[in-house]
Amino acid sequence: MAAEERVSSPTECAGTLVDELYNFRDHFVERFGLEKAGDKEVEVEKKMKECLQKLEFYQGDIKNKSMIQLLRGRILNVLYKYSPEAEEALSRAVKLDPKLVEAWNHLGECYWKKDDVSAAKNCFTGALNHSKNKVSLRNLSMVLRQLSGPPVEKVKLIEESVQRAKEAVQLDVKDGTSWSILGNAYLCQFFGTGQNPMILKQCMQAYGQAEKDPVAQGNPDLYFNRAVAYKYQEEYLLALEGFDTAAQLDPSWVEARTKETELLSYLKDVQEMVETKGKAKTKKIESLIKSLGERDLGTYSTGQYTNKAGKSVNIARCRLNDLQVKVNEGKVVMGAVVCNVHSNELVPFTFCMMDEDQTCVAVTVYNLAQGAGMKIGDRMAIPEPCVKKVKLSHKGTEISFGSIIVDSPRFLIVNGRALGANKEALAVLSVSTVSE
């Protein structure tokens, strides 16, 4: 005689119903394609309302009142916008059963959507007191980065944020959401603790792992935040594509499309300024060239240079045309500033520099203190210049220009004098937390 099939309880049936709702949301783009991404919120809301109606069918048979409130709260919390009804149901659930970890996690997400960061932190911390789980850990990682405090305290919070995200990944190495939040934590650590290239590498590796998961693939935050990192690395095409993908995944997210538009406009402006030598007139160009002299090399005129590692190396002056697309070790270039390039963001500070041969290049300076930018006519010397060739095509726009990247202004010579450490400031970071 065959064994009888096990009949699911009303609680299990209702739980499966809610799980299917979240599966519909998390796999929406995978199921319906990127072209339907703009319909996601509306379609999920429809499913949410259907799910609430179906829950009524089961709740009369569910004896556990805390479970009824949890199920209702989960359904109402499925949208990315704050729901006071969800908060009310989940608050009841944790009052009825303080050990209900899933209720604490969803309540914390409710508070997060409400911008009540402190309350969200208490929920995730409380959940972890009952059970170590990936959702609480990664959400706590996210919250820690948003807490305010003095610089030293902020560094500690970011370091703890990285640690919590690592723990979440260790609990489930295939969960792309945890990987994405770890990438964001690394990105904040990179900008907030001295910009160690190894940390940025770890950040990009985490984003790469996240993208393997279909759930994370449907999250616009992943592409937006990775685009921020690509932009900093001057991988402009990848940055543009990232902002574009984020905007397609969430057409209502104005910032993603704005960032793409602003970056493309900035690149077009840089290209135009390089090609036209800052639109300077012939007399102005001649005057700038005549102003250049050996004194503008400052201390580098001795042929000696102390690099980032504190090591003294020999350097020799060369022309801009002689530079190669790489870090030009043992070289120093000199030129005059012909224009500044406007950008809606403070980082990087961008200007165009021209030498005696009238060769013009863009120069992007990172970590420059506000108000310390170069002016037209300033004479510059740049040791061991890192040269990059920017060449891309995006949505019918072709961009091509040469660029020198300066990651620290303290080694620049301006009008014969070193800028020094007091002109350096850490870059300002914009990481999205729309739907982490």
State residue 426's pLDDT score: 60
User: Would you list the DSSP string of 131-182?
Assistant: ---HHHHHHHHHHHTT----HHHHHHHHHHHHHHHHHHHHH-TT-HHHHHHH
Which whole-number Å values give the CA distances from 87 to 27, 58, 94, 106, 140, in the listed order? 25, 21, 11, 8, 18
Give the pLDDT score at 343.
Answer: 83
Identify the band that residue 6 occupies on the pLDDT scale cut at 50, 70 and 90. Answer: low
Structural domains present in the chain? 10-267 (1.25.40.10), 276-423 (2.40.50.550)
Report the pLDDT value the prediction gives residue 7, as an integer from 0 to 100. 61
Cα 165–110–91 angle (5° rounding)?
115
The pLDDT tens digits for 324-375 are 999 999 999 999 999 999 888 777 899 999 999 999 999 999 888 877 889 9
pLDDT > 90? residue 77: yes
Q: Tell me the pLDDT tens digit for each residue of 187-214.
A: 999 988 777 889 999 999 999 999 999 9
Its pTM stands at 0.89
What is the rounded CA–CA span in Å between residue 1 and residue 336? 93
Provide the 8-state DSSP code for 99: T
DSSP 22: H
Stated length of the chain: 436
| Bridge partner list, 305 | 313
In degrees, to the nearest 5, what angle opens at C-alpha 426 toward C-alphas 153 and 140? 40
What CA–CA distance (Å, rounded) separates 204 from 194? 17
Per residue in 116-132, pLDDT (tens digit) is 999 999 999 999 999 99
Asked if 355 contacts 334 with a C-beta cutoff of 8 angstroms, the reply is yes
Q: What are phi and psi of 153, to 5 degrees?
A: -70, -35
Write out the E strands in 355-396: 360-365, 379-383, 386-394
More confident residue, 373 or 256: 256
The mean predicted confidence, pLDDT, of the chain is: 92
pLDDT, greater one: 282 or 371: 282
Query: pLDDT of 9-60, one tens digit each?
Result: 888 888 999 999 999 999 999 999 999 999 999 999 999 999 999 998 887 7
Question: Beta strands of 237-374 (E only): which ranges?
Answer: 304-306, 312-314, 316-317, 331-341, 349-354, 360-365
Amino acid occupying residue 277: K
